[in-house]
Structures are given as structure tokens and as C-alpha cells.
Amino acid sequence: MEKLSLGLIAWLLISTAAAQDSLYVFQVKGEVILVTGKADRMAKKGSLLTASSSLRLGNGASLTAIDQRGVTYEAVGPATVGFQQLLARKGKPRGSNMTAQYLTYVWKEFVGGERNETLIGAAFRGEMRMLTPTDSAKVVASKVTLKWKTDSLATSYYLFVRNILTDKVAKFETDGSRLTLFKDNPLFEDGSTQFEWTVTTEAFPNLNNLPFYAFELIDRNTYKQLETEHQAFVDDLRLLGMDEREIADALCETFGICRF
């Protein structure tokens, strides 16, 4: 039993150390210089911080970094802060349990990780390109922006949007990673609110063999009501320095309530 306890403690220490061998910059305000032993450069969102990194923060500047567990670390200028010093400056505990999960997702985005399912428990149904709106999302009806994963080999993507009530399907071709549909699009003219979408590199696929994400159109009042149900999460993101557009994107990615 004693050997087991010692082994568990050792594993926890190793895991903790591994989790703190690098950080990513999440938010920067003001002038923050990242010093890495090479050419100094301005720190920005997504910049990698390692044990050899240090930061020079100007007067009134601030920086928030995150680790792979969604823990935040904060520095305020004027100051020069080394990596180990930054690790000792953990941010305050958050009011929402979902905040750390969202920051963990952001970490994975920074390191190039891709998710195959949403943060909120949607079942995985095979290889998918769709990103947002997530499956079963609720989207403010003024416009819908559909985003998907791309790859270096594809030159065209074919987006299919199906009206669930009428079973009518609209098809769009694009060479990008997103497409925005506005409220006056004929697809939405009959007042239907339930839709589903998929994207593929095939111009004429068998739609029965493709996975779809569903979304429901809502009005702004309904969105505001749903937003208030996650007020602690919103407050956390504001404290982290995120603006209203970034917070709206986070609500869409995390809870599936979207305002584009």
C-alpha cells in the first residue's frame, strides 16, 4: 500500500511538471515583449511560452497565459517576468466550471489539435468537417455562419443545408472554410426554424451517407435568455479580457448558442 501511495505521488508530480513545461498566451493588453533568446518580438495571442521565455511588460500592460488544464497565469506591467515567475502567478478561481474546459479547448486549438465532437456531449458519428455551429445549436436568425475544417488537398467544398420540415436541400460551392447565410436567403423564406447541414469535398455525394449537424433559428430575446443562464461563464471571460465578439464565439463553441 505504501509503495502504491509513493508511486501515485510520483506520478502526480510528474504529471504536474509536464502540464507546466509550456504555456500559451491567451490575452495581451498594451506592449508586451516576448524574449526567447532569439530576436525579441511582440507577444500575441497564441504565442508559445517555455522555460527559456521571459516577458517585458510596459507600463499598464498585462498578459494572461493558459496551460493545458485551462489554468490561467497573469502578469501586469511594468515588469520583467520569467517563466517560473509567471507559473507562480495563477489567476483567480473561476465562477463557472465550464471556463476551464473552454480554455482547454483553446489550448488544443493553439497546438493544432482538432476535436471530433463538441464540448457538450454530442455523440461522434464518424469523420466530420463541421465545426460551428455545433450539433443541435440555437442560432439567432439574422444570419448563420457555417465553419468547417479544411485540408491542403481540397480546392472546393460543397455545403448542403436541409430544411428539416420540407426536406428541401440547398447546395453551395466555395473554396474557403466558412459560408454566411443571411435571413433574406430563400432557404429561410417559409419561416421554418429547423435545419441541418453538412460539408464535403464531393460535388455529388450520397447525402444519406454523410453526417449532418442540426441547428435551430431563434430570435434575439431567446438568445439573451439563454445567455443569462451562463452568466458566470460570461463574467469569467470578461475578466479574462475577452471582448463581446470573442465571448459570443465562446458561447457558440461551448454551449451551442450562437450569434453571428
**Mean pLDDT of all residues in 227-235:** 96
Per-residue pLDDT reduced to its tens digit, 10-69: 434 444 444 468 999 999 999 999 998 777 999 999 999 999 999 999 999 999 999 999
pLDDT at 32: 97
Give the integer Cα–Cα distance in Å for 17 and 233.
Answer: 28
Q: Which residues pair with 173 in a beta bridge?
A: 158
pTM > 0.85: yes or no: no
Please give the DSSP secondary-structure letter assigned to residue 186: G
Burial class (CB in 10 A: 0-12, 13-18, 19+), 133: buried
Quickly tell me which residue has 482538432 as its cell: 114
Please give the DSSP secondary-structure letter assigned to residue 94: P
pLDDT at 127: 60
CB–CB of 30/77 below 8 Å?
yes
Distances (CA, A) of 219 to 142, 216, 254, 257, 259: 8, 10, 19, 11, 10
**φ/ψ (deg, to 5) at 224:** -60, -40
Q: Fold for 98-260, please state it.
A: Immunoglobulin-like (2.60.40)
What does pLDDT average to over the chain?
87
Question: Which segments of the chain belong to CATH 2.60.40.10?
Answer: 98-260
Give the integer Cα–Cα distance in Å for 257 and 98.
Answer: 14
Q: How many Cβ atoms sit within 10 Å of the Cβ of residue 88?
A: 9
Burial 200-225 (b: 16+ CB within 10 A, else e): beeeeeeeeebebbbbbbbeeeebee
What kind and span of H or E run contains 196? strand 194-200
List all residues 6 or more positions away from 190 whose beta carbon is below 8 Å from its beta carbon. Answer: 163, 165, 166
